[in-house]
Structures are given as C-alpha cells and as structure tokens.
Structure 1
Amino acid sequence: MTLPVGSFINMAAVVGGGALGMLLGARLPDRVRAIVFQGLGLCTMVIGMQMAFKTANPLIMIFSILSGAIIGELLRLEDAFARAGEALKAKLRSGNPRFTDGFVTATLLFCIGSMAILGPFDEGLRGDRTIVLTKSILDCFAAIALASAYGVGVLFSALPLFLYQGSLTLFAGVLQPLLGPAVMNELTATGGLMVIGIGINLLELKRIPLANMLPALLTAVLLASIFM
C-alpha cells in the first residue's frame, strides 16, 4: 500500500498558496481583488467546458446532473458543507464573513476533476506522482487567487482535499476496475459541468448550490459502467 505523499504535498501547496493569497489580498485594493476574482471565474469556466466536452454520451451527463442534484437537495448536502464551514469558523473564532464560502468553493474546486482522481491513482498503482504534483502547482496558484478574496477559509479546504485524494491513493487497487477510460470520460464530463458552476458562482452571476450536485459523480460512474 502506497502512502499518499503526493496528496500531502498537494495539501501543503494549497495551504502555502492560500497563506500567500491572504498576505497579498490584504495589500491589494478592492478593485484589483475583484478583477483577479473575475479572471479566475472565467478561467474556471473554460476548464469546466473542456472537461464537459469529453463526454461520449451527453444523456449520461445530463441525467447524472439532474438525478444527482435531486438526491443532493433531498440530503441537503450544501447545508452540511455550510455547517462544517461554520463550525470551523466558530472554532477558530474567525470574523471573516466569507469564511464558509471560501471553504466550500475551494473544496469543490480542488476535489472535482480528473486530475483529482488520476493523480492519486497513479501514485497508488505505479508510484508515479507526476499528475498529483502538477495538480499541486495549479492548486497553489488557484489558492492564491481564492484566498486573496475569500480569506482563511480557503486554507482549510486542504483538509478534505487530503482526506479525499489520500483515500484514493490508499484504495487505488480496489477502485481501478470500476474506473475504466469510458467511465472516467463521463465522470470528468459531469465534473466539468460542476466546475462551470463554480465559475458562475465566482463571477456572482447566479448562486448555484453545487455541493448538492456531488451525487451526480457517483451516478455518472454507475450509468457509464452500465451503458458504456
């Protein structure tokens, strides 16, 4: 069993980038922070589109998002994420009004996507950390931008990131047969739609409760395994 060293490095990159973002954010005028935030939102939407176009069967992606959103709404996953963020905020006695938004947004951004799965898998199965280290660099820069606007809540997204990716590394051998290329494409495409939603939230065009859509990822794996 391979230890999730790459995920630990990814966690450290998010914390380091977030700390730098907080340092820079305190020195940036509000108008500069706003344009940085908007730029990040636009880039996030483009990345999400690239991911979404990987689908070979749009019906799987559409049904996964719709059914997953219904399941998540019934389970009130967004509220659970918010409560976790508020609990952290209270424990730290933080007065930052955007703490929870930063925690939820950063957690979703760092944990959704093919690199968040393939990286830990490559580390667990082959000991190859190339993908997860590349993701660490990307996440570091994203954390800088997010933390400059959201604050300390972004740093604490590193904990669920480590638990998620670390678990994939530890159990890569068990999960590999379930995630063939066709399944990964549909999983990536479904995650891409959610990443587009993150961009929409960052641009403040419309508030989408994306945590409620997380079951869509499991639905995509199930449907792709059956029909692809």
Structure 2
Amino acid sequence: MPGLGTIFNVAAIIAGGILGCTVGSRVPERVRQTLMSANAVAVIFLGIGGTLAKMLTFSEGRFDTIGTMMMIGSLAIGGVIGELLNLERGFERLGEWLRKKTGNTKDAQFVDAFVTASLTVCIGAMAIVGSIEDGLFANHAILFAKGVLDFVIVLVMAASMGKGCAFAAIPVGIVQGTMTLLSSLMRSVMTDVVINNISYIGSILIFCVGINLFFGKKIRVANLLPALLIAGLWTI
C-alpha cells in the first residue's frame, strides 16, 4: 500500500516522543542535560559523516573534495531566499499554534523542541528517496528504516527537551506524504546526481542542527532549507 512507509514513520516519531516524555519526567535534570549533550554530539557526527561521504573521493592514494562550488552556492542562495521568506519564524509560529491548541502554553521548551526535532527528522535523502519508492513501488523499506532511526532520535530528544518533539510527526507526515503523492512526477527529475546533491546539503543542515543543540541557537537552520532545492536544481 503506497504511503504505508510514511504512516509507519509518523507513528514511530509519536511513539518515540511519548516514551521519551514518560521517561524524561522521571529522570533528574543533570541526566537530561547529559542526554541533550549526547544527542547533540550524535547529530553533529551524523551530519559530518553524511557530508564527508558526499564531499570526499579517494583516488591515486589521496582524498579530493567534490561539489564545493555547489555547496557554497546552494547555502548562500538558499540562505538569502530563506531569510527573505523568514522560514524560521514560520516554523516557530506553527510551534506556538500547536502549543496553544494542545494546552501546553506553560511548556517553555515546546516551540524549540518542535522546531529542532522537525528539522532533524525532515532533512535528508532517506525522506526523499524513501517517499518516492513508497509512492511508485510500494517499497517501504527505506522509510521503515528511517522510522526506526527517528524513533530513537525523538525518544532521546523528548527525554531532554519535552513533548514538543513528538509533534515533529506533523511536518514529516506532510512532507513525506506530499512527496509520495507526487512521486510519479518526481521520479523523472530525481536522478542520482540530484539526490546526492540534496543529501550533501541535507547532511550539512543536520550538522547545523547539532551545533544549535550543543551551543544554543546559533544558526537559523530553517532559513537554510531552500538550499536543498538549489542543490537539486544545481545540475541544471
């Protein structure tokens, strides 16, 4: 059944958020701070690993870098577009709306938890390729694997940041569900080069999320999201 992968992914995020909040409420503050630091380091290294995998090639006994102009151009152009649209504020407004509608107005961390978790689990090649495979061939394997990863990530995040993390299921459902519905149109343009470029930039944005988790909000990651689109269009 097309769409089953996204349904599983959304359910996994909700389950991870609920379990994380249940566990987190019973965990001392110092342990939660350590969990947050550990999660930040893990996200940073996920970003570094994904970036280096696309950035480095090995030939004739030495490493070379590829795609550096694409990386710089995509981040610069995407950042300008994101700032003009102020996507970060849009994410925050959605988080504030959800906080009010769900009766969590006293939860000071709700919006940050929602935005951070959403950016962590929405970005990446697995979401794009998995959604296309799900829509075209009812192949759920990639999104099932992503669901398991997201379950663990959101569980740890929710234990330290709170219930806002569970609501990351909403943008994941919207983004992946839309790509699944449009998969027949996207398949023709999602070549290996396009997917590699998107994965390259996506890994950099995941690294930026980790930086924010560890050092506080230093980078407006949501305003860099258009860089993914520029990276995809770069080959044109």
TM-score, normalised to structure 2, is 0.91
1:28-84 deviation digits (Å, cap 9, x = unpaired) = 111111111111111111111122221431110111011111111111111111111
Work out the CA distance in 1 between the residues paired with 2:190 and 2:5. 20
Distance in 2 (CA, whole Å) between partners of 1:120 and 1:92 is 29
Q: Deviations over 1:96-118 (max 9, x none)?
A: 10100111111111110111111
Measured in 1, the distance between the counterparts of 2:6 and 2:103 equals 28
Confirm whether residue 10 of structure 1 aligns to residue 20 of structure 2. no
1:117-176 deviations in Å (ceiling 9; x for gaps)? 111111112221111001100000111111112211111110110111111111111001
In structure 2, the partner of 1:111 is 122
Q: 8 Å contact 2:21–2:158 — kept in the other structure?
A: yes
Q: How many residues align?
A: 224
The amino acid that maps onto 2:127 is: A
Structure 1 runs (4+) deviating above 4 angstroms are none
Verify the 8 A CA contact 2:3 2:138 in the aligned structure 1.
no
Q: Is the 8 A contact 2:2 2:138 kept in 1?
A: no
The residue aligned with 1:79 is: 89
Taking the aligned partners of 1:15 and 1:194, their CA distance within structure 2 comes to 23
Whether contact under 8 Å (2:41, 2:210) holds in the other structure is yes
C-alpha change, 1:172 and 1:220, in structure 2 (3 Å) is same
User: Where do 1:5-154 residues align within 5 Å?
Assistant: 5-53=4-52, 54-55=54-55, 56-94=66-104, 95-154=106-165
**Alpha-carbon shift at residue 205 of structure 1 (Å):** 5.2
1:175 aligns with 2:174: no
Letter in 1 for 2:224: M
Deviation at 1:206, TM superposition (A): 5.0
Gaps of 5+ in 2: 56-65
Distance 1:50 1:64 in 2: 19
Is 1:162 the equivalent of 2:180?
no
Distance, in Å, in 1 between the alignment partners of 2:39 and 2:127 is 19
Distance 1:134 1:48 in 2: 18
Asked if 1 retains the 8 angstrom alpha-carbon contact of 2:44 and 2:211, the reply is yes
Percent sequence identity over aligned pairs: 37
TM-score of the aligned structures, taking structure 1 as reference length = 0.95
Name the Cα RMSD after superposition.
Answer: 1.2
Secondary structure of 2:99's aligned partner: helix
DSSP-derived class of the 1:90 partner? helix
- Aligned partner of 2:211 in structure 1 is 200
Query: Equivalents in 2 of 1:220, 1:176: separation in Å?
Result: 17
Letter of the 2:91 counterpart: F
Distance 1:112 1:124, change over 3 A: same
Structure 1 residue runs of 5 or longer lacking an equivalent are: none
Shift in Å at residue 3 of structure 1? 3.1
- Which amino acid counterpart does residue 50 of structure 1 have in structure 2? G
